[in-house]
């Protein structure tokens, strides 16, 4: 049987409360669970809904370095400037967008406090493939 879809994304963070604020302020994440003093997993954890995606954060050692590995969330193009303002207001480090083929969407890249890279992207897979096909070999 094939995989049914994405179950969840888990990120390890040093400070659950600080990351929870960032997720709420920038992504509009809705908290749906906090382990508090209970331990059902390997560390204290919180669960969020981000645009229908289950995002979990667990307390632990942050990533030792940054990379281009990232999680990308879809945003409407009309809200690009609003999200850009949210990221800037959060005071996190932004990464310059990569060079793009015109028409494949716009992106905002930012690192959280634990070296995870997030992307807020306006395009879709079908739009990207269409633009790549038009660009030629």
Residues known to be catalytic: 45
Asked if residue 57 lies in contact with residue 9, where contact means CB atoms within 8 angstroms, the answer is: no
């Amino acid at each position: 049987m094939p995989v049914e879809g994405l179950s969840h994304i888990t990120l390890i963070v040093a400070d659950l409360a600080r990351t929870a604020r960032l997720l709420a302020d920038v992504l509009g994440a809705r908290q749906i669970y906090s382990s508090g003093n209970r331990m059902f997993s390997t560390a204290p954890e919180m669960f969020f809904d981000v645009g229908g995606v289950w995002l979990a954060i667990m307390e632990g050692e942050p990533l030792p370095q940054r990379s281009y590995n990232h999680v990308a969330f879809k945003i409407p193009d009309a809200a690009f400037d609003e999200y850009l303002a949210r990221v800037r207001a959060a005071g996190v480090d932004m990464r310059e967008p990569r060079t793009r083929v015109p028409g494949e969407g716009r992106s905002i890249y930012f690192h959280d406090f634990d070296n995870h890279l997030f992307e807020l992207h306006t395009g879709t897979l079908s739009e990207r493939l269409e633009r790549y096909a038009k660009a030629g070999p």
